[in-house]
């Protein structure tokens, strides 16, 4: 951590994207750490929901079905720390806190949307693949167990 943050080694943007992955697969790669953060179950959903409009804490909790209070707090803190989400607290009682995407958060949403679109387009294929796989393994299991 102390001497890290070196981001200009070898892999300049222009090269084939071959080498890029060499760097990214290294555990100490900063890109990989950021990816771990944003490619997260809850982060994706929160960013997605905030793109529509800013939301309050309790609204988010209701919209993101299944998230616990703690994880919503943690997720929002991380996103805020990364500069993807802005937190606006009003000193009123009861408290009111609005969360909204920053400009950077908005650009990320574009990319995330692509991922979701891909998922939508392929969900049938994936379901089919899963069914096929399960059937295959069931048969193998049968052969082994018989």
Partner DNA sequence: CATCCTGGGTCACTATTGGGAACTGTGGAA
Partner DNA sequence: TTCCACAGTTCCCAATAGTGACCCAGGATG
25 SS3 class: coil
Answer yes or no whether residue 16 interacts with DNA by CB under 7 A: no
**Could you tell me if 87 and 99 are in contact, meaning their C-beta atoms sit under 8 angstroms apart?**
yes
d(CA 28, CA 56): 35
Residue 75 CB burial class (10 angstroms; 0-12, 13-18, ≥19): buried
What does 138 bind: DNA, a second copy, none (CB cut-off 5 to 8 Å by kind)? none
d(CA 39, CA 114): 13
What number of chain residues touch DNA (CB under 7 A)?
Answer: 23
Answer yes or no whether residue 137 interacts with DNA by CB under 7 A: no
Question: What residue has token string 């929002």?
Answer: 76
What does 124 bind: a second copy, DNA, none (CB cut-off 5 to 8 Å by kind)? a second copy
Residues that bind a second copy (CB under 8 A): 5, 7, 13, 17-18, 20-22, 24-27, 30-32, 34-36, 38-41, 44-45, 48-49, 51-52, 63-66, 80-84, 104, 107-108, 111-116, 118-120, 122-130, 132-134
Site for DNA in 72-131 (CB under 7 A): 73-74, 76-77, 87, 89, 93-97
**Could you tell me if 46 and 85 are in contact, meaning their C-beta atoms sit under 8 angstroms apart?**
yes
Answer yes or no whether residue 68 interacts with DNA by CB under 7 A: yes
d(CA 22, CA 86): 34
At closest approach, how far in Å is the CB of 111 from DNA? Answer: 21
Q: Which residues bind DNA (CB under 7 A)?
A: 41-42, 56-59, 66-71, 73-74, 76-77, 87, 89, 93-97
């Amino acid at each position: 951590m102390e001497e890290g943050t070196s981001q200009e080694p070898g892999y300049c943007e222009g090269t084939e994207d071959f080498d890029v992955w060499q760097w990214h697969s290294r555990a100490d790669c900063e890109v990989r750490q950021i990816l771990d953060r944003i490619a997260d179950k809850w982060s994706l959903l929160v960013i997605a929901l905030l793109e529509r409009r800013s939301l309050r804490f309790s609204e988010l909790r209701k919209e993101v079905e299944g998230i616990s209070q703690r994880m919503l707090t943690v997720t929002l803190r991380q996103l805020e720390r990364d500069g993807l989400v802005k937190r606006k607290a009003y000193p009123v009682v009861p408290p009111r806190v609005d969360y909204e995407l920053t400009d950077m958060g908005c650009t990320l949403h574009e990319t995330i949307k692509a991922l979701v679109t891909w998922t939508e387009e392929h969900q049938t294929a994936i379901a089919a693949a899963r069914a096929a796989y399960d059937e295959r393994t069931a048969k193998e299991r049968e052969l082994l167990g018989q």
